[in-house]
A = this chain, B = another copy of it.
Amino acid sequence: MKTIFVSGTAGSGKSLLTSKLLDYYARNGAFAAILNLDPGVDNMPYTCDIDVRDYVDYVSIMQQYELGPNGAMVMANDLIASKIDEIQNDVNKVNPDYLIVDTPGQIELFAYRSSGRFIVDNISTEEKTNIFLFDGSLITSPVNFVSIALLATSIRLRLNLPTINVLTKTDLIGDKLRNILQWSTNLKTLENAIGNETDGDTYTLTTNILRGLNLGGFAQGLIPISNLTGEGFGNLEGALSRILNLGEEVEG
């Protein structure tokens, strides 16, 4: 069983990508299943096989502990870790070739509190990988791009998983797509774009950070996709195969 975590900021397209990946594996004759880890999700574009909401009930937490929406959301996400045995049992019963994990809506509750890393470390499967979504609609400037790349790197360190960076909503962003792809592959182009937009401290800070990030390969291989049109899915599937199957085609 191989595990694919799908992560990204709220609204970046995690659940939709999760459902598209399920379709992809089904079409290719592989047995994939979805684990929903978001206690606060209401509508999902898929039927999930394992659901943390069977064990963590957001509304009960609000009532029982007299918490507001923020407090209940934090507690619900923290409680996920305590349900690892039940979740693992359910996963074992389904026993798919590919387990696709749709992570909680707000990434910070998953990545920066303890439960996310705990789940990542303790879901007992073989190869694991994380897909991090750069929300195309949030990248309105080169400095924004660096900001999201920093977040991606921060989360990569926090979860300690091989990570595939994906740019979503390519159908929405028009001509910006070309710019973003240039920024992700050519440090000099990105530095020039930042220089046109900023000066002084911000320019110095950003370009210094960039050089450090670039040595670490921060946005190498950023894969643009559209959940709407399906554009880019071939590339994403190739990247998944390289990490999960040592470059072989999908295992059925």
Residue positions of A touching B, CB distance < 8 A: 9-11, 38, 40-43, 58, 67-74, 105-109, 112-113, 135, 138, 143-144, 146-148, 150-151, 153-158, 160, 202, 204-206, 208-213, 215-218
| Residues of chain B within 8 A of A41, CB atoms compared | 68, 70
C-alpha gap A9/B151 in the complex (Å)? 13
Give the residue of B73, B135, B206 whose beta carbon is less than 8 angstroms from that of A157: B206
Least Cβ distance of A63 to chain B in Å?
12
Number of copies: 2
Least Cβ distance of A120 to chain B in Å?
14
Known: A151-B112, A151-B154, A154-B151. A209 touches B205 (CB 8 A): no
Known: A160-B202, A209-B216. A70 touches B38 (CB 8 A): yes
| Residues of chain B within 8 A of A113, CB atoms compared | 9-11, 138
| Residues of chain B within 8 A of A135, CB atoms compared | 112
Do residues A9 and B157 form an inter-chain contact, with CB atoms below 8 A?
A: no
Give the residue of B67, B108, B138, B212 whose beta carbon is less than 8 angstroms from that of A106: B108
C-alpha gap A211/B214 in the complex (Å)? 11
Closest A-B pairs by Cβ, 5 of them: A212-B212, A42-B68, A150-B154, A208-B215, A70-B105
